[in-house]
Chains A and B, each alone.
Chain A
Amino acid sequence: MNLAAKDIRHNFGRFILTAIGIGLLLMIVLGMSGIYRGMIDDALVVVDRIGADLWVVQRGTRGPFAEISRVPANLEHRLRAVPGVASSRAFVSHNVQREHRGRPLRMNVHGLAWPEDQGEWVRLVAGRPLGQAHYEMIADASLGLALGDQLSLGKDSYTVVGVSRGMVSSAGDGIAFFTLQDALSIQFDLPGEALRLERAARVERGSGLEATLEQPRLLERGAGLSSGIPALGPPMVSAVVVRVFQGADPAAVAATIATWPDVSVYTRAGQEQLLVYGMIDKARRQIGLFRVLLVIISTIIMSLILYTLTLDKIHDIALLKLIGARNTMIVGLILQQALLLGALGFGLAWLIGGWVFPRFPRRVLVTADDLQALALVVVAISVFASLLGIWKAMRVEPNKVLS
C-alpha cells in the first residue's frame, strides 16, 4: 500500500492546486533561464551564422555590435592581399526606427555584400535570399512584415522577399537584411534640401581657393554628387568580415592585420566574448542572479508547502509510529509526495511555458540542457524541501495520538 498515493487521492484537489502553484513558480524559473539563453543566442546569432573567421573594425573600437565603428569600404580589397585571407566583404549594421502602418517599427539594418553575400546564411522560414542589387529586403518575423510587404525607408521603397526567424540583435530588435549599398543609403539618407545646402556650402568654401580659381571645374564638381569627389574618400562601413583559407590559422592572419595602425581585428571567439562579456554582460548577470534568487525562493516556498502538508498529517504520523511503522515508511510518505509534487510542477512548468513563452516579446530559448538542469534542480529542491517535514515527523512522539 502506497500511503503517499492514497493521501494524494484523498486530497486530490488540494494537491493539484499546489502542483499548479509550484508549476507556475518553476515556469518562471524556466522562463528566466530561457530569457538568459535567448539573450545570449540573439547576441551571437549573426556572429555565429555569418561564417566570418575575423572581424576587422575601426582601430581602438570593439566592433560593430559593441559601439560605432567606421572603416572605409575599400578596406576589403586591402584585406584580400593578406596571406591566408580567402575572402573579405564589407559589413554594415545600424538601427533605424520608423512608422509603419501607424506603429513604431524598430529594426537593426544589416548590409550584405551583394552579390557575394545574398543572405543564404540567414534562417529563412519563407521566401528567398536577396535576388537583386537594390530594393529587396529580408525581414525577421518579429518585425511583423510579410512576404511582398513594401517598406519605405529614405527615398526608396523595399520589398520583403524573405522572412527569417530568430534573427534579432542583442537588444532584441528584429534584423532586416539589405544589400550593402541599400543599407548605406538608408544610413546616410539626407533630405534634398540638406544635400543642396551641403553642396552650396562646399562651393562657398572652395570659391575663394586658388585651386578653384585656376581650375574652375573643381568648383563645378563640388556642386555635384559627393561620390564624384575623390578627395572625400569612399563610403564608410561598420566592419569588414574576413574568411581565411581552410587550414590557415585565423590567429596568425589576425596577427598580420593587427600590425596595421588604422584597424583592430578580432577572431570570431573574440567577437563573441565581447558580446557576451561586454555588451549584454550586465543584463546577463542580472538575469542569472535573478534566476538563482528564484530557485532559492522556490525552495523556500516548496519547503513551506511540504512542511504544512506534513503538519496536516502529524496525527496520522504519530499513529503510524504508535502501531510500529518504521521511519522509512514515514520518510517515504513525505519524500514521495515531495518528488511527485516537484515532478508534476516541472511537467506543468514545461507545458504552460511551451504555450506562454512564444508570446513573449523577446525570445525565450529553452534548451534540452536547461530542461535537464531544471529537472535535477527540482529533484534537489524536492528532497531539500521535504527535509523540514521529515525533521518534524521524526520528532513526533507516538503519544501525540492521545492529544
Chain B
Amino acid sequence: MTPSGPHPHALEAVNLTKIYGAGNTEVVAMKDASLRLERGEVIALLGPSGAGKSTFLTSVGLINPPTSGSIIIGGVTIMDGPRPLVDLRAFRRRHLGFVFQKANLIPFLNAAENVAVALQVNDTPPADARRRAMELLDYLGVADRANNLPEELSGGQQQRVAVARALANQPNLILADEPTAALDRHRGRQVMELFRKVAHERGSAVMVVTHDHRSLDVFDRTYKMEDGRLMPTDATPAS
C-alpha cells in the first residue's frame, strides 16, 4: 500500500509498547509511546541510555515490531499491534530513510554507488540512479568524493553519503539514531543542520535520536524518553 498524495502527518505512533521476554524475565522497553510528526518537521529524541529511544526508533522504522500500538505513516496504517498490515520491506524501500551512528556504507561500493543502490532496490534504472545519486551528493557537498570508497572518506563525509542514501527515494520519514556520535562538534553540528535543511527544503519528516544537547536549536521540537515513556522535553514524567 502507498500513501496517496502528501499527507500532513508523516508519522503517527499511537500507544506503542514493546515488551521483551516474558514472566520473570519480562522487560518493558517502551510503554504507551505516542507521537505525531508533521511533514517538513525535524524533531530530536533525547534520553539516557536504556531509556527506550532506539526501541521507539526501530519500531517506527518497521524493523522491530511493537508488542502493541499502531504505526501510521503518511496516512497509511502500517502496524496495528505486532502484526504488519503491509509488506514492511517494500514499505521501507519506498518511504523510509535511515541514518545511524556509523555510516554503515557498503565497503565495496563507492560513494555514488552507495546512494544509487538504494534507488536501484526501488527499481530505478541504473543510469537514472547514478544521475540522482550525483545530484544528492552534490546537494550534500560531497560530489567530489563520488568515486571514492567509504574507507577513503572522512567520518563526516561518510555520514553525508549516508544521509544522501537516506534521501535517495524521497522518503516520508527519515530516522536517525545518534548520527553525530562519532563526529567532532563542528561536523556533528553540520550534520544536524543538514537534517534541518533536508526537512525544510524537501518536506521529509526527520526524527533524530541524540545525546548531543549542543545542537538542539536546529530542531523544531524535542522529546525525551525516560523508562520507556515518551514525552515532550518540557513535560514532567508521569509517576
Say yes or no: is A322 at the interface (Cβ < 8 Å to chain B): yes
List 19 contacting pairs A-B, 8 Å CB cutoff, sorted by A: A1-B109, A1-B113, A1-B116, A1-B117, A3-B109, A6-B109, A10-B107, A319-B106, A320-B106, A320-B117, A322-B63, A323-B118, A324-B121, A324-B122, A325-B89, A325-B121, A399-B63, A401-B104, A402-B177
Of B89, B94, B122, most A-chain CB atoms within 10 Å? B89
Min C-beta distance of B56 to chain A, whole Å: 13
Contact A6 B64, CB 8 Å, known A322-B92, A324-B121, A325-B121: no
| Nearest CB in chain B to that of A316: its residue | B106
Say yes or no: is B219 at the interface (Cβ < 8 Å to chain A): no
CB pair B122 A402 closer than 8 Å: no
Give the distance in Å from the alpha carbon of A335 to the alpha carbon of B237 in the complex: 53
Say yes or no: is A9 at the interface (Cβ < 8 Å to chain B): yes
Give the distance in Å from the alpha carbon of A103 to the alpha carbon of B54 in the complex: 80
Chain A contacts for B100, CB-based, 8 A: 401-402
CB pair B54 A402 closer than 8 Å: yes
Chain A contacts for B182, CB-based, 8 A: none
Chain B interface SS verdict (over half): helix
Min C-beta distance of A336 to chain B, whole Å: 14
CB pair B113 A319 closer than 8 Å: no
| Nearest CB in chain B to that of A6: its residue | B108
Min C-beta distance of A11 to chain B, whole Å: 7
Chain A contacts for B92, CB-based, 8 A: 322-324, 398
Q: Please, what's the 1-or-0 string for B152-167, where 1 marks a CB less than 8 Å from any CB in chain A? A: 0000000000000100
- Number of residue pairs spanning A and B whose beta carbons lie under 8 angstroms apart: 69
Q: Please, what's the 1-or-0 string for B69-112, where 1 marks a CB less than 8 Å from any CB in chain A? A: 00000000000000000000111111000101000101111000
Say yes or no: is B126 at the interface (Cβ < 8 Å to chain A): yes
Give the distance in Å from the alpha carbon of A303 to the alpha carbon of B165 in the complex: 33
| Nearest CB in chain A to that of B96: its residue | A324
| Nearest CB in chain B to that of A400: its residue | B63
Q: Could you list 11 further interchain pairs (A-B, Cβ under 8 angstroms) beyond the known A10-B108, A402-B177?
A: A1-B116, A3-B117, A6-B113, A319-B106, A323-B117, A324-B94, A324-B122, A326-B121, A329-B121, A398-B92, A402-B100
Q: Please, what's the 1-or-0 string for A302-330, where 1 marks a CB less than 8 Å from any CB in chain B? A: 00000000000001100111111110010
Q: Please, what's the 1-or-0 string for B120-159, where 1 marks a CB less than 8 Å from any CB in chain A? A: 1110001001000000000000000000010000000000
Say yes or no: is B34 at the interface (Cβ < 8 Å to chain A): no
Interface size bracket, B side: 20 to 34
| Nearest CB in chain B to that of A315: its residue | B104
Min C-beta distance of A324 to chain B, whole Å: 2
Chain B contacts for A1, CB-based, 8 A: 109, 113, 116-117, 120, 126, 129
Closest 7 CB pairs of A and B: A324-B93, A10-B108, A325-B121, A7-B108, A399-B63, A324-B92, A398-B63
CB pair A324 B113 closer than 8 Å: no
CB pair B108 A11 closer than 8 Å: yes
Contact A316 B113, CB 8 Å, known A325-B121, A402-B100: no
Min C-beta distance of A237 to chain B, whole Å: 72
CB pair A319 B104 closer than 8 Å: yes
168-196 of chain B: CB within 8 A of chain A:
177
CB pair A323 B108 closer than 8 Å: no
Chain A contacts for B233, CB-based, 8 A: none
Interface residues of A (CB under 8 A from B): 1, 3, 6-7, 9-11, 315-316, 319-326, 329, 397-399, 401-402
Chain A contacts for B129, CB-based, 8 A: 1
Say yes or no: is B58 at the interface (Cβ < 8 Å to chain A): yes
Min C-beta distance of B213 to chain A, whole Å: 22
Chain B contacts for A11, CB-based, 8 A: 108
Chain B contacts for A397, CB-based, 8 A: 63
| Nearest CB in chain A to that of B54: its residue | A402
Chain A contacts for B120, CB-based, 8 A: 1
Chain A contacts for B90, CB-based, 8 A: 324
| Nearest CB in chain A to that of B95: its residue | A324
Chain A contacts for B106, CB-based, 8 A: 3, 316, 319-320
Chain B contacts for A9, CB-based, 8 A: 108
| Nearest CB in chain B to that of A5: its residue | B108
Min C-beta distance of A388 to chain B, whole Å: 21
Chain A contacts for B107, CB-based, 8 A: 10, 316
Min C-beta distance of A8 to chain B, whole Å: 8
Chain B contacts for A7, CB-based, 8 A: 108
CB pair B64 A323 closer than 8 Å: no
| Nearest CB in chain A to that of B91: its residue | A324
Min C-beta distance of B222 to chain A, whole Å: 22
Give the distance in Å from the alpha carbon of A326 to the alpha carbon of B165 in the complex: 17
| Nearest CB in chain B to that of A4: its residue | B108
Give the distance in Å from the alpha carbon of A326 to the alpha carbon of B122 in the complex: 9
CB pair A324 B89 closer than 8 Å: yes
Give the distance in Å from the alpha carbon of A324 to the alpha carbon of B92 in the complex: 6
